[in-house]
A and B are shown apart, each in its own frame.
Chain A
């Protein structure tokens, strides 16, 4: 279903890299990658997942997951915990802690993640925290600096737990927050950029994925590998192509 795209991005591992960041350009929808990662994580034995819903409500991830062949409702409360911020805001926006505590809600989110992770660590050995997406935190009043500090804190937490914690974050309309995207790109181990095709729309390809991987072996070794693939999201699976492969009919 989505294994090919995860393999291409280096995300089909039992243990994910400590920090993976997805940057989504405007004009493309990278939600399929979050659904693919979610599907992969809930199938890994002895692994827990915390999903922070900022861009879509939990029901969206459930419906998208069913198309990819997994049911999130079955995992809810067992190896999946959900912090549905969008749903909380919809309940009573005037009293919701996410809208009334300006700037400080990042601390609230941090506390919430810690509480959920403590409960999950009682039964699971590894945890993946998925945040979709960081731009909503900016919309709610956080500054790019605060988001950067929050991302750094998550990274340090992951390193402190000997990579028992993996962080996956997504930033939509990344070109609007170029500095933030670059800073988080430097911080993360795998940086996946979902771009639209610059040459126009094409029915057989939805967009382009650029995977940047940090492969430095020492403190003075700065090496980064970069790979580009093309993708097409279908109703129940995701197809990937190498650049130049599409259109070849034998």
Chain B
């Protein structure tokens, strides 16, 4: 009798897949174009930091997408916020769009008869699409109460004080939140232990407006950094992902190096630079967009090199039905400007010596 045994393939939970780029399990952020930019999705065990726009409009939309993806993929979801009511936010989570439901139906072969080769080419619209995990959500369709009751996530609003005295932090809210997160993870592990044939349930943790003035205390900076260090350790060991939205424009006022320290403790960092209230709002170059999306960090997790996106010139716009991230295209220059006619030096840029390569 042979001693060889066929290796049992551990099934992945719904809403996760092995990434082609990193060869690691990933899950969707809820926005397919963001997944594409980050290398196919969020690596399991990673922390995504969304640096909020000044009026905290678009970062909330991203958080809603993240939660919606968790609910519709049947992940164990926890939403924590001191600024917003988590239950209210759950009610505003979008549902999958009609186009998502009909996505799997085969396309009509008569779509393009003459220029049939163009069927295989990507659309002219440069919006990225990497749809193997995740849903397309419609922002005009809020989640049904029945779905929320069945798969609804857990919430933390700071009112449930932990009974034990805090030893790690000056602000007891930090420790209370960590205990809540640890509880959610232990519950999901128990679910897996009860039925070993079932895959490990994926956990999604979403902290919105984390580090807002409501979190401030005597030793806020120390507490905040310590919390992120412990959170990173916890997230690394669990099968899940964490999204944090933080008002970095406020946090950088505390210390110049504080944002760099925060980014060191997360795996992905994207900044939403909204045009509202800035000079760029009236700039005709940006009239098609609502803001710029800056990628500050993509770390190499369980691999040697980090994923490099095709371009870092990205912009976003909030349409009625969806949030779209696109390559930044400048409008065509139709009028001749003085700059265009200015004589240029024949032998390159005089500032070229400043380049390091």
Top 4 nearest A-B pairs by Cβ distance?
Answer: A176-B257, A90-B237, A26-B260, A63-B302
At the interface, yes or no: B118 with Cβ under 8 Å from chain A?
no
List, in ascending order, chain A residues with CB within 8 A of B237's CB: 57, 87, 90-91
Interface set of A (CB-CB < 8 Å, partner B): 26-27, 29, 31-32, 35, 56-57, 59-60, 63-64, 67-68, 86-87, 89-94, 99-100, 135-136, 139-141, 172-173, 175-176, 197-199, 201-205, 208, 230, 233-236, 238, 241, 243-244, 246-247
- Assembly CA distance A243 to B353 (angstroms): 12
List, in ascending order, chain B residues with CB within 8 A of A202's CB: 357
Q: B225 contacts A139, CB within 8 Å? A: yes
At the interface, yes or no: B303 with Cβ under 8 Å from chain A?
yes
- Assembly CA distance A94 to B178 (angstroms): 9
State the Cβ distance, B263 to closest chain A Cβ, in Å.
Answer: 6
List, in ascending order, chain B residues with CB within 8 A of A173's CB: 257, 260-261, 264
- Assembly CA distance A204 to B257 (angstroms): 28
Q: B304 contacts A99, CB within 8 Å? A: no
Q: Which of A26, A29, A205 contacts B306 (CB 8 A)?
A: A29
At the interface, yes or no: B60 with Cβ under 8 Å from chain A?
no
The 17 sampled A-B contact pairs (Cβ below 8 Å) are A32-B300, A35-B304, A63-B302, A64-B300, A64-B304, A67-B304, A135-B261, A136-B229, A139-B265, A140-B226, A199-B355, A199-B356, A204-B357, A230-B357, A233-B306, A241-B357, A243-B357
List, in ascending order, chain A residues with CB within 8 A of B306's CB: 29, 233
Q: A64 contacts B302, CB within 8 Å? A: yes
By beta carbon, the residue of chain B nearest A206 is B305
**Contact A57 B236, CB 8 Å, known A29-B299, A201-B312:** yes
**Contact A208 B356, CB 8 Å, known A26-B260, A31-B300:** yes
- Assembly CA distance A133 to B150 (angstroms): 43
By beta carbon, the residue of chain A nearest B265 is A139
List, in ascending order, chain A residues with CB within 8 A of B299's CB: 29
- Assembly CA distance A234 to B306 (angstroms): 9
Count B-side interface residues using an 8 Å CB cutoff: 41
List, in ascending order, chain B residues with CB within 8 A of A68's CB: 304
List, in ascending order, chain A residues with CB within 8 A of B354's CB: 199
- Assembly CA distance A70 to B64 (angstroms): 42
Interface set of B (CB-CB < 8 Å, partner A): 164, 167-168, 175, 178-179, 182, 222, 225-226, 228-230, 232-234, 236-238, 257, 260-261, 263-265, 296-297, 299-306, 308, 312, 354-357
- Assembly CA distance A172 to B225 (angstroms): 14
By beta carbon, the residue of chain A nearest B21 is A235
**Contact A59 B233, CB 8 Å, known A203-B308, A243-B356:** no
Q: B232 contacts A86, CB within 8 Å? A: yes
List, in ascending order, chain B residues with CB within 8 A of A27's CB: 260, 296-297
Q: B303 contacts A246, CB within 8 Å? A: no
State the Cβ distance, B38 to closest chain A Cβ, in Å.
Answer: 15
List, in ascending order, chain B residues with CB within 8 A of A26's CB: 260, 263-264
Q: Which of A60, A86, A93, A243 contacts B178 (CB 8 A)?
A: A93
Q: A175 contacts B355, CB within 8 Å? A: no
State the Cβ distance, A141 to closest chain B Cβ, in Å.
Answer: 7
**Contact A198 B233, CB 8 Å, known A100-B168, A176-B260, A234-B305:** no
Q: Which of A205, A235, A241 contacts B305 (CB 8 A)?
A: A235
- Assembly CA distance A54 to B275 (angstroms): 39
List, in ascending order, chain B residues with CB within 8 A of A246's CB: 357
Q: B264 contacts A233, CB within 8 Å? A: no
Q: A100 contacts B167, CB within 8 Å? A: yes
State the Cβ distance, B60 to closest chain A Cβ, in Å.
Answer: 27
